[in-house]
Amino acid sequence: MFTENLKKTLKNELAQIEEDIEHMELNDHAYTPCYAKLVKKQKFIKKTIKKIERMEK
């Protein structure tokens, strides 16, 4: 139960981050420090989701 809610929350957060990254790329703000932080956060959330899925097996 807890892992399902956590995974759902992380996926929502990931969708928001990907939307923000796309917006920054379209407005030529890519490769700024803020953009780098978003990409780092995106990678971390993807890894965390994978770890949760592995734990559920």
Does the structure show a pLDDT above 90 at 3?
no
The shares of helix, strand and coil residues in the chain, as percent rounded to the nearest 5, are: 85, 0, 15
Does the structure show a pLDDT above 90 at 46?
yes
Residues 6 or more apart from 41 whose CB is under 8 A from it?
Answer: 17
Mean of pLDDT values over 9-36: 93
User: What Rg, from alpha-carbon coordinates, does the chain have?
Assistant: 13
Mean of pLDDT values over 28-45: 93
In 1-57, which residue ranges form alpha helices assigned H by DSSP?
A: 2-26, 33-56
**Which pLDDT score, from 0 to 100, does residue 48 have?**
96
